[in-house]
Chains A and B, each alone.
Chain A
Amino acid sequence: MSAIEQIRVPVAQLRPDRAVEKGISNDSGVRHAQTDIAGALTAYKSSLRRSGMLSIRNVSKSYGSKLILDALSLEVPEGKITTLLGPSGCGKTTLLRLIAGLDRPQQGEIAFNDRVWASAERRMFVPPQKRNIGLVFQSYAIWPHMKVSDQIAYPLRNRRVDPAAIDEKVDRLLRIVGLEGLGDRPATALSGGQQQRVAMARALAPDPTLLLLDEPFSNLDVSLRGQLRAEVRELQRRLGITVVLVTHDQLDAFTLSDQVALMREGHIEQLGTCEEIYERPASDFVRAFVGKSVRLTGAIAEQGANSWVLSLTDSARLRLPNALLPADNFQGNVTVWLRPEDLHISRRSSDEPTMRGIVRDTIYLGERYECVVDLAIGETVVLHTPRAIRPRTGEEVYVTAFEFSAQHAAAGERDAKDVVLGEF
């Protein structure tokens, strides 16, 4: 048994006490048995660190004349969740398929822990069977002719794991994903959420070095999504496995990811933590993608100790924190991007700078209202109001930015370097 093969044996089989039995029964001499124990222990230790780092270097892929991935490079760190986020058609699923080995790159290289999985230049390719990965498909790809337990046992049987060890492992996985006692059910008799768990258990069964998730929550209802997100996060932390997640859902990405790669038209527009992506978008595209922003341009009207006033017209003005000031005594127009949560409305005008507008529509979202306001200056802004305040359609309102005093200090810490400001 080579070291690599031993690592692939499920953890249940690698407990040192079992390895002892195994060593003695397999070999005639005592000395052999002892070296085998040592080998098994080494293997056991390596199995604890079985995850690894994925490198994607300069990968291109096109279907026909359509370029899907354009010389894309990405490092996926070990033991973390990396999310490929982007609108449909940005190439995120294609990239996942290349990582899984379901497609081959036309240019570039994909390597895992310094082992080349696919290289167009060197004409090398490791088929998916030999990558030891887990993949949860968007459709779950549950085999309709198999029982739940057979689905989970399938990858283990392919690896010729000992039947007793398979049973033990299947039971453990059923417990982990919360499907205890459902092993004998036909998989098609399960609900969507349960099928998702079966797909997850099946993907985890062979102790994969890398787990790939393709829009795993998109077919679930809202409450279940939240619950399963938390479970996936918990599971990943416990197993310390490297995960690549594909989603178009910002909430999926932000609640799960250690690192987000925001993709656009076959390349990575921005790579960073959730906070970096949201607070410091690298481009207008990222800003637009990760939240509803409004873009306002005007001149600096006055400047105080903590805040300054942006003047859009004579009657439309906004007070903004100094952190968003490009430079003292800056001359010329300033463009500010504001998100819904930065804006507030009141029914009365005040001495403070405001922008007048008419409520176009109010949408009840449960915990708050989303309110669309047509500003007198012609722009339209989206903002949130608490449930206690329900603006009526057609009502005249006054919009301010940031609630000074409370929000002020926090906002002031942000550093703004560019003329384009206000990434909140």
Chain B
Amino acid sequence: MSTTTIANGETDRPTWWPNSSRSTTLYLIAAIAFGVLVLVPLLMLVKASFLVEAGGRVGYALAGWREALANPGVHSALANTFGLMIAAQAISIPLAILLSWLLGRTDLPARHWLEFGFWVSFFLPSLAVVQGWVLMLDSKFGLLNEALRTVLPVADGPFNIYSWWGIVFAHLVTTTVSAKVMTMTPAFHGMDARLEEAARMAGDSPLKTLVRIVVPILAPAILVTSIMGVIRALESFEIELVLGLPSGIQVYSTFIYNLVHKETADYTTASALGILMILPMLALVAITRRLMRGDRFTTISGQAKSELIALGAWRWPAFAFVALVVVMLTLIPVAFLCVSSIMSVFGYFNLDQTWTLDHWKAVLQDPVFFASARSTLVLATATLVVATVFSTFAAYAIVRGPARLRAVFDLLSWVPFTMPGVLFSFAILWSLVELGLMKTLYGSTAILVLVVTLGTLTLGVQLVRTNFMQIGSELEQASWISGASWLRTVLKILVPLSIRSLVVVAVMAFISAARNISHLALLVSSNNRPLAVLQLDYMMEGRYEEAAVIGIIVVAFTVGIALLARQMGFTVGPRARAKAAVVAP
């Protein structure tokens, strides 16, 4: 060697260093691992749809597809899925626009509290809310029906929640409206008010201004929210399972669930139906990606905040309307859930002993409950950690990875989004079968953590990515120059600067895991059954009172963690302007 010498093998030491060929290799390995993780379930699903079993021999053919497409059950399941979705969206979108405008742009009394009510509603587990409303709207013993029958000359009803419109109603009171209000209110609130003022100057009434000026300006935000709403609606499972069973209404998710749970499980038809669902999801995801990429969200500016619009004489009627919606979304279902948990028999007020704590005692003394509570806690905590770490690194790879791999990571992060709840559960189950991992992983908590993590991944990644993109790369480079390793830079610079997003992702993952049913439906055994699934099982067995007790405990879990995070100063409430958190499963 000439005059130049290499100092102490500095270059030979393995250094994780972005920009080096070694780091490119690591990124490549990570991309492949990520790809395997999200694509294998999808590919297994495709493979399963061609599975044909005849005379004990297994082969692959188009027969499964032919049968699936000819199956009238598949037809009606698809028709119901899209019919229910369209009905719920057609009602909820205009309603949510009106509510968000009232909360974000007008002098509505107590608007911050009302907005918080929608946040609470969003965090309530669907099943608990539905059960609360069943108590009101059951055609026989529903309290509202009983009250109405004292003045109306009908023997049954007039309302029946176990019906097509009952399912639509259940969607509206669970998260369909509250998720939209949560996303759109900040957009309305932060909107540049000058255009609106111009219209008011020109003599338009407030409502006319809303329809002609505000809605068109916020159209992209409203569109994304609506598409997310559609995707969420297609994830729905437990509402249809509980409410659709008595009337025989099936949607694709309950149909797949039943096909798998039949004595001779029909995986081929289930997969084919699943793939039919993935196709529209792909289109919706493509549109969402396109809408979220551009600068279209920049209608939100810090400047030109105008005075709020005075509602005048409409102020208190408007308040009454919004308050009624909030009460219907939160207080009524939770209150009646509580009532039912302390009744001897759900809906019967004239028994010898109407009120009792026996159900609470029974549940709290049941080892099954404790096993489930433990499962929920382990599942939710593990998902919180895994999903947050996973989202952070995936988002980092999208923002700072090698140019050619960024798009790959971004695309892969959207793949889980195309497989809603039960379908995902089925795809993972089938992958376990195909890969010979049933014995090792079925019934384990690890597989539940994996499926919920993948279920929350897309939104988690998008949320963290948006935050990382706002952090100049020079802040990281300054840290490297200061002698900090890559990992230390992530921990000391990037994480503190993104802490709010990360906490939102963590809370979202925890709550999602604590109340999730659809992603877990086909992967749960008695070994790893969390509380939310236990509640569903009790309801399906007709043990409504015990189900109510568990529902209240799940509510306490999810709302509790949201309030705790809020208390810690990480506003997971109306002040956290986090658009992606809204659409968490």
Contact = CB atoms under 8 A, between A and B. Distances in A.
Given A129-B480, A139-B474, A158 B488 contact: yes
A111 interface: yes
Interface string B459-480: 0000000000000101101111
Contacts of B475: 141, 143
Given A141-B477, A141-B478, A143-B493, A155 B4 contact: no
Interface of A: 4, 100-104, 109, 111, 114-116, 124-130, 132-135, 137, 139, 141, 143-145, 154-155, 158-159, 202-203, 205-206
Contacts of A143: 475, 478-479, 493, 497
12 contacts: A4-B7, A114-B5, A125-B20, A127-B480, A128-B480, A133-B481, A135-B477, A135-B478, A141-B478, A143-B493, A154-B479, A203-B481
Nearest to B480: A128
Contact of B481 (A103, A104, A125, A128): A128
Nearest to A2: B8
Contact of B483 (A103, A109, A159): A159
A388 to B, nearest CB: 47
B482 A154 contact: yes
Nearest to B493: A143
Q: Which are the 4 A-B pairs with shortest beta-carbon distances?
A: A155-B482, A158-B483, A141-B478, A141-B474
Contacts of B20: 104, 125, 127
A141 B472 contact: yes
Contacts of B482: 154-155, 158, 202, 205-206
B446 to A, nearest CB: 35
Nearest to A125: B11
Contact of B474 (A128, A137, A145): A137
A254 to B, nearest CB: 27
A70 to B, nearest CB: 21
Nearest to A203: B481
Nearest to A111: B4
Contacts of A141: 472, 474-475, 477-478
Contacts of B496: 145
A204 to B, nearest CB: 11
Contacts of B488: 158
Contacts of A125: 11, 17, 20
Nearest to B5: A114
B477 A102 contact: yes
Interface residues of B, number: 29
B483 A124 contact: no
B263 interface: no
Contacts of A155: 482-483
Given A116-B4, A203-B481, A206-B483, 19 more contacts: A100-B477, A103-B19, A104-B19, A115-B6, A125-B17, A126-B7, A127-B15, A127-B17, A129-B15, A129-B484, A130-B483, A135-B478, A137-B477, A141-B475, A145-B497, A154-B479, A202-B478, A205-B482, A206-B482
A284 B378 CA distance: 73
Contacts of B481: 100, 102, 128-129, 133-135, 203
**Among B8, B481, B496: residue with most chain A CB under 10 A:** B481
Interface in B8-52: 8, 10-11, 15, 17, 19-20
Interface in B407-442: none
Contact of A139 (B6, B472, B480, B493): B472
B150 interface: no
Nearest to B492: A154
Contacts of B497: 143-145
Contacts of B205: none
A56 to B, nearest CB: 13
A214 to B, nearest CB: 9
A109 B5 CA distance: 12
**Among A129, A154, A158: residue with most chain B CB under 10 A:** A129
A149 B380 CA distance: 39
Nearest to A100: B481
A396 to B, nearest CB: 51
A342 to B, nearest CB: 42
Contact of A129 (B5, B472, B483, B493): B483
B485 interface: yes
Contacts of B485: 129
Given A135-B478, A145-B497, A154 B484 contact: yes
Contacts of A100: 477, 481
A208 to B, nearest CB: 9
A9 B287 CA distance: 56
Nearest to A133: B481
Nearest to A159: B483
Nearest to B495: A145
B350 interface: no
B105 to A, nearest CB: 31
A124 B11 contact: yes
B3 interface: yes
Contacts of A139: 472, 474
A169 to B, nearest CB: 14
Contacts of B4: 109, 111, 114-116
A109 B1 CA distance: 14
B478 A116 contact: no
A199 to B, nearest CB: 8
A132 B10 CA distance: 13
**Among A104, A145, A206: residue with most chain B CB under 10 A:** A145
A126 B497 CA distance: 28
Nearest to B11: A124
B7 to A, nearest CB: 5
A144 B498 CA distance: 11
B6 A116 contact: yes
A33 to B, nearest CB: 27
Nearest to B471: A144
A138 B482 CA distance: 16
Interface in B240-272: none
Contacts of B6: 115-116, 124
Contacts of A144: 497
Nearest to B488: A158
Contacts of B484: 129, 154, 158
B62 to A, nearest CB: 46
A404 B8 CA distance: 64
A130 B482 CA distance: 9
Contacts of B11: 124-126
Contact of B7 (A115, A133, A137, A159): A115
Contacts of A132: 483
Nearest to B483: A158
A4 B480 CA distance: 20
A125 B11 CA distance: 6
A155 B488 CA distance: 12
B478 A102 contact: no
